[in-house]
Structure formats: C-alpha cells, structure tokens
Structure 1
Amino acid sequence: MFDQTFILLYVDSPAASADFYARLLGRDALEASPTFAMFALGSGVKLGLWARHTVAPAAMAAGGGAEIGFPVPDADTVRTVHADWAARGLTIAQAPTEMDFGTTFVALDPDGHRLRVFAPGAE
C-alpha cells in the first residue's frame, strides 16, 4: 500500500523546534522556512515540523498529541541516552523504567510531544 516514511508534528515555532531537534539529533534540518522544517531520522524516515497556526485545514490537536519512538539495542543504552538527554536539559516525563514491552523513558520536546527511547524486552 503506502510506505510510512514521514512523521509530521504541529508546533508553535518551527524555528525553535528545528533548533531543539538539530541539537538532539546532531544534524541540520534538510529544509527550513518560517512555517516548516524537516529532518532526516534515518532509514528513509523524515520528521516535519509545521507551524500549528498555518496548517490547512486547521489542526485540531494541541501540542503533546504525538509520540516518536527511538529504539535502542538494550536497557543500558536506554539509561545512557536518558543521562545524556537529562544533562542537556530535556524535560523528562518518565525516568527509565521496566514496562511489559521492555525498558523505556520519555522526554518531551518544546511542544510537549513525547520522545520515547526504548529497548524491547526479550521474547
């Protein structure tokens, strides 16, 4: 059918969000304008950041209505990324914890969207 290779988040300020994601991901935006920015996440997946007030038709969702998953190989990597992101000043919504699917933690971007780092548990 379709390849899902594009994540789109509605943000208050594409410039502020682009700065946040450039620092988080360690790479520059592929494109940026006053109302939109786009990043490559890897494996052909792109992240778009669209100014909430310019979306047509108007967006119904407020900030924080989405979650991006960042899979990592193991629980030690979850804890390492958590320590790094906390030291960088990211808001941590959930400290590293064991859940039924594995080890995880959740940070927030400037608009409250969740950034979930996780290592799937052994099956």
Structure 2
Amino acid sequence: MFSPDYALLYVEDPIASAAFYAGLLGQQPVDTAPTFSLFMLENGLKFGLWARSSVQPVALGAGGGGELCIHVADRAAVDRLHGQWAEQGVAIAQRPVALDFGYTFVALDRDGHRLRVFVREGD
C-alpha cells in the first residue's frame, strides 16, 4: 500500500508562483529555482511548482483541470480565507456557497489552477 505525499502543479514561472503561494500559505518555499520551487507543508505534503516548459514528457493539460483542496475546520474559516485572499487580489472563481458536500469557495492561482477551500457538512 502507498500513500501519495507529493503534489506538482505545472506553472509558467515557478519563482512568481512561489511568491503567490508563499502569500497564501504563510510560509516560504524550501527550494526555489527558475524551473522548480518546493514547499514542505506542515501536514507533510510536498508541494512543487514545475515550469511547464521543462516538464518531461510534455504536459498537455493546463490549469483548471483539477483542484488543490484545502479542508478547514468550519464556515468561519472558509469565510476568513475568502476575505483574506480577495483582499490580496487573488482571483475568486466561486464565492462562498453551500453545496451538497459542504461550504466552499474556489480561487484561482496565476496559472488558472483551482484552489478549493471547504468544510465538510451534511454527514
């Protein structure tokens, strides 16, 4: 059995994307280079930003085809992050809303990757 512990997003500019994510995550990357930046998150997840132009084999998809999901404790946390990110100028694709799985909003990074913040409700 295995458990995935590394997530990669293909981006146009890993250094600029690292600055964007540093602002959202409240921490600096552990490694930054022109073609790759890496964050080590508190929950153990390794989160990498890889320059699309250097990915092998060539990546066909673009941002928006999936989501990086961030589970929070309650609705207040969803609303708080939404407000903070909107104030920072982060593009918001979906304002906070109740859906069948819970309360959520969706933001977009510089490359159009979807960032879903949610609290699970309705169990």
TM over 0.5: yes
Where structure 2 has 5 or more consecutive residues not aligned to the other structure, the ranges are: none
Counterpart residue identity of residue 63, structure 2: G
Comparing 89-98 with 37-46, greater Cα deviation is found at 37-46
Counterpart residue identity of residue 73, structure 1: A
**Residue matched to 2:60:** 60
Instruction: Give the total of aligned pairs.
Output: 123
**Residue matched to 2:8:** 8
Measured in 2, the distance between the counterparts of 1:71 and 1:113 equals 17
Measured in 2, the distance between the counterparts of 1:35 and 1:100 equals 39
Aligned-CA RMSD value: 1.0
**Residue matched to 2:94:** 94
**Residue matched to 1:69:** 69
**Residue matched to 1:24:** 24
Measured in 2, the distance between the counterparts of 1:68 and 1:44 equals 15
Secondary structure in 1 matching 2:41: strand
4+ residue runs of structure 1 moved beyond 2 angstroms?
Answer: 63-66
Counterpart residue identity of residue 46, structure 2: K
**Residue matched to 1:79:** 79
**Residue matched to 2:111:** 111
Give the conservation status (yes or no) of the 8 Å contact 2:91–2:107.
Answer: yes
- State the shift of 1:64 in Å: 2.5
Where structure 1 has 5 or more consecutive residues not aligned to the other structure, the ranges are: none
Give the conservation status (yes or no) of the 8 Å contact 2:100–2:122.
Answer: no
Measured in 1, the distance between the counterparts of 2:100 and 2:66 equals 21
Cα deviation digits, residues 2-23 of structure 1 (max 9, x gap): 2211111000000110110111
